[in-house]
Structure 1
Amino acid sequence: MVEVFEVLRAWLAGLGLRKVAERAGVDRKTARRYVAAAEAAGLSRDAGVEALTDELVGVVVEAVRPARPNGHGASWELLLAHEEQISAWVKGGDGAEPLSIVKIEELLARQGCVVSYRTLHRFAVERCGFRPKRTTVRVADGEPGVECQVDFAQMGYLTDPETGRRRKVHALIFTAVVSRHMFVWLTYSQTLVAVIAGCEAAWRFFGGAFKVLIPDNLKPVVTDADAVNPTLNVGWLDYAQHVGFGTDPARIGA
């Protein structure tokens, strides 16, 4: 329910399907299915977020819920039949260079195995030993007040006045992307509760919430960091929906 709500919330905000999928931590094909089901249920893009009732989201969930007895869909089953070949392409050898996922996707399509890039990427990483190359991409800053980067840093040890024990202290650092204005929240833990408490303090400091938060793959926020399809904590998505901001996880390398 939370995942569907997040997809539709981002779609109603006018974002494209690629960005909608990233914000919700799903692949683009899944986001497209959610949107199509919502439109079939009567949701129009000019409607406000108040149109996302529990009844509407429930209808969408029932319409798109896949039958996956083994935890994977039909595309994954198709790839299992080509696992040995994909592994050979990924590893290279005997004078052959390792192939990229894009090239492997093309070769599989020639053999009649057509799957999405994201599914193929996950399959190659989980079963075939693929490790993406580390890359650096320069990006342009957005508008003031739109994006805020969030990350933890270790501050050292302090004596807890309540227990008398020395405890490790973490700093949750919020950095406005354009102005680089920063807010630091100290905490003894790196839990979701601690992150949300830091966010609430940051909104008071900045005078409001940013439209987009960019967490550097904080474990309480991003439960499964991935270069293509990161998975966001459901509790975090629920909080983001409550406040009204989007989440854009930082990209990771190999």
Structure 2
Amino acid sequence: MDKFREIMRLHELGHSQCSIAQSCAVARSTVQDYIRRATAKGLSYEQIQQLSDSEAKAQLGKGKRAVKEKLETIDFTTLEIELQRKGVTLALLWQEGIDKQQWDCSYGTFCRRYNKWKVRHQLTMRQVYKAGEKLFVDYCGPTVEVMHPETQTVTQAQIFVACFGASNYTYAEATPSQELPHWIGAHQRALPFFGGVPECIVPDNLKSGVTDPCRYEPGINRSYEEFARHFNVVILPARPNKPKDKAKVEKAVQEVERQILAPLRHERFTNFTDLNAAILVPLQHLNDRVMSGYGVSRQVLFEQVDKPALKALPSHPFTFARWRTAKVNLDYHLEVEKHYYSVPYWYVQREVQVKIAEHLIEVFHDHQRIAVHERSRVQYRHSTVAEHMPPEHWEYKRQSKERFLAWADQIGSHTRAQVEAIFNTKAHEEQAFRSIRGIQRLATTHGTQRLEAACRRANAFGMVGLRRLRSILATRLDTATVEAEPVATSAIEHPNLRGAQYYH
């Protein structure tokens, strides 16, 4: 319009249309058109100066013509709820409305009206949450004191909150801490409360759940990963220092703090059972209250939108276990809570992953389980599996008097007699073990027949021990004939024999 006013000023000063077009940097046809329109309306430069831009455009016929649009009543609140279901689009809703003769507008008009409604309506949000897609979890800032009635020790109860993105349906409970067992335990109780499993769980960067709060590739605690694998759910941690990534649960935390924790501030609790029972009643009221922006309650919206889209709960419960990395000691054992568990001896000095469950200890290497033990609470003791021991250790562990005697029986009666004699000469059985193992080596070196013959000669002359047997075999005395022992006869009594008493 500034150029239009300049065109009229120069025209009244007597300049040609060509010079005016050159001065105002417009086409000559444009100058001719504006002059013709102003002349037809009888507008002078002074009159145009008194008009606003919109009035001048209206006088010259240059403004957009107002087209009266037939506005049909469309319930966009209901359509917004339907739009959160999987596979539902604006085009589908528009076509369904056309088929039911609820409106007669074009698809473009329908989309424009929807966007205008969304811009000015309270349901505006940057992210659109699909039904049953995301469950947001977090802890409240305020805590609740729980005092033990006997010890008078005070525990600051942490308030866990979970909230669905599409329906805002909320769950809350008190736990003794934010540590890993309580963190996963709260998840395990929240999912049955909802009656199903979402596609994703969006936590904050709590250390119990996220080991590496990276913006792009966050590290998930291995126990938390096992929980997600058991329930077939994806863990999507919020970005560090980005509360808008979990705005739904931030609002849910605020509601829990105002509607549940604040009214309980004057009450005193002695156990978590009573505290969670006190939380449950106002929590139900919170979910049953009608939300002003939606016109329905969280409970109703959850039943309509989220619940039908949830996956079924697993048939068997999740068993919580902690993971840790350990290095196998030289005695092929590793320590868990001051008890020692064996692994195959060839993993000595290697790093392994230990899964610590309530009743089992499992050891993994290279993602393969290499050992499993029943968990023991006895400290400074060993749980050893025979197959984990080296062969020489296993043989040493199996040593016993009965095994050595059974071996001697297989060689012969003289060998058994020699082995029994060795056990009789030692104060402790283990003192005889080395000697007998030496005798077993003689059987390997010289053969069982020669060993049996050597034991026969040693027994005949009352010789006991490894050195005697080794000497007999070295000098080949085992091949010599052993003289028969003289038969002992009793003394003859006769009156002509004086006997030993005579010489006293």
- Highest RCO, 1 vs 2 (Cα 8 Å, sep ≥ 6): 1
Greater share of helix: 2
Please report the TM-score for the alignment, with normalisation by the length of structure 2.
0.22
TM-score by length of structure 1 reads 0.43
